[in-house]
């Protein structure tokens, strides 16, 4: 693709969107439009050589303003967070459907060449995720549909919207189901953070405070796979540019760990052992979820490969620097 064509990243003030803009800049793209609802002061990464705009993409006129003149659209915009947020804000999560709807309508209106939608592993049927020692989820496991209430339903509906805009209006869409993305320049406190960042923060705070215990949501046996941000950004672009990934596809690591094992890693990085207090009343999500990467390996001859240990160490160091800088 020409580095001169205009690319829109919706949700560019967020964690994944900021990293995507940074990577596109590194590749030499000079015509980038970054859009987010947050004021510039709250963007995780912001670059002066990019066309930065504060817009509510849930509004039709704002979506049209964002898309006009763009050849490619990455829709990473959503009102979301970790399990604590999505279990307690179902209506807000559902309202995100307006963002993808209006961006797709604008993409049709302005003849966008390629449109990427960031879906989630939360679309998968709950009945497939009741056991921590589960079989990894394949793409077909999203049906019969029974996704995460609120957030998962919105993601699944928006996947269908992409499909039908392709079928009926010839808008070329690509959909990736993200599995637990983590890394530096992301949320690590405040209630919207995901498990890797939350665990790193808790270990760091325990070490700095001298209070050597940690609260873990659930019994610690629930399992997940966690994908480092660099793999997510690379996979996202591979999927958008692919000519044969025509269906929603997993984008996640196949390295499954329990939450207890995640804590083990963070403790090892921090050089500390903590007393574990299990909060069985806290939101914990499904018992088990992991990405089956058979399809992405077949279609792209690639899968996320950065190990959890390597990625978590980089994330821990960044969060440590952030926390200690605020204390200084």
Q: Could you list the active site residues?
A: 151
Q: Which pair of tokens denotes residue 217? A: 């949501």
In this structure, what are the phi and psi dihedrals at residue 303, rounded to the nearest 5 degrees? -155, 160
Q: What is the Cβ-side half-sphere exposure of residue 173, based on CA atoms within 13 angstroms?
A: 30
Assign 46 to helix, strand or coil. coil
- Report the C-alpha gap between 109 and 39 in whole angstroms: 27
Q: Per DSSP, what are the bridge partners of residue 241?
A: none
Query: What does the DSSP assignment read for 187-245?
Result: --SSS---HHHHHHHHHHHHHHHS--EEEEES-S--EEE-EEHHHHHHHHHHHHH-SS-
């Amino acid at each position: 693709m020409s580095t001169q064509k205009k690319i829109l990243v919706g949700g560019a003030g967020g964690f994944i969107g900021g990293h995507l803009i940074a990577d596109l800049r590194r590749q030499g793209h000079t015509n980038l439009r970054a859009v987010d609802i947050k004021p510039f002061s709250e963007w995780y990464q912001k670059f002066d050589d990019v066309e930065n705009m504060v817009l509510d993409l849930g509004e039709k006129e704002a979506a049209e303003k964002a898309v006009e003149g763009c050849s490619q659209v990455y829709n990473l915009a959503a009102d979301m967070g970790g399990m604590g947020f999505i279990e307690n804000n179902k209506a807000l999560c559902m309202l995100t459907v307006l963002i993808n709807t209006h961006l797709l309508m604008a993409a049709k209106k302005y003849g966008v060449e390629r449109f990427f939608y960031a879906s989630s592993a939360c679309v998968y049927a709950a009945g497939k995720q009741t056991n921590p020692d589960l079989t990894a989820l394949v793409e077909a496991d999203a049906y019969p549909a029974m996704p995460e209430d609120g957030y998962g339903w919105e993601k699944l509906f928006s996947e269908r919207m992409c499909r039908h805009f392709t079928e009926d209006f010839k808008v070329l869409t690509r959909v990736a189901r993200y599995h637990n993305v983590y890394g530096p320049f992301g949320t690590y406190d405040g209630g919207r953070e995901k498990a890797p960042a939350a665990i790193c923060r808790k270990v760091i705070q325990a070490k700095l405070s001298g209070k050597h215990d940690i609260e873990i949501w659930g019994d610690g046996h629930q399992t997940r796979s966690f994908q480092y941000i660099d793999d997510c950004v690379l996979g996202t672009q591979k999927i958008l540019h692919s000519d044969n990934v025509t269906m929603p596809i997993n984008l996640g690591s196949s390295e499954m760990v329990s939450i207890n094992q995640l804590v083990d890693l963070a403790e090892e990085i921090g050089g500390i052992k903590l007393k574990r207090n299990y909060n069985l009343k806290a939101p914990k999500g499904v018992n088990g979820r992991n990405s089956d990467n058979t399809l992405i390996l077949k279609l792209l001859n690639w899968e996320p490969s950065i190990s959890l240990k390597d990625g978590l160490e980089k994330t821990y160091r960044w969060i440590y620097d952030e926390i200690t800088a605020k204390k200084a």
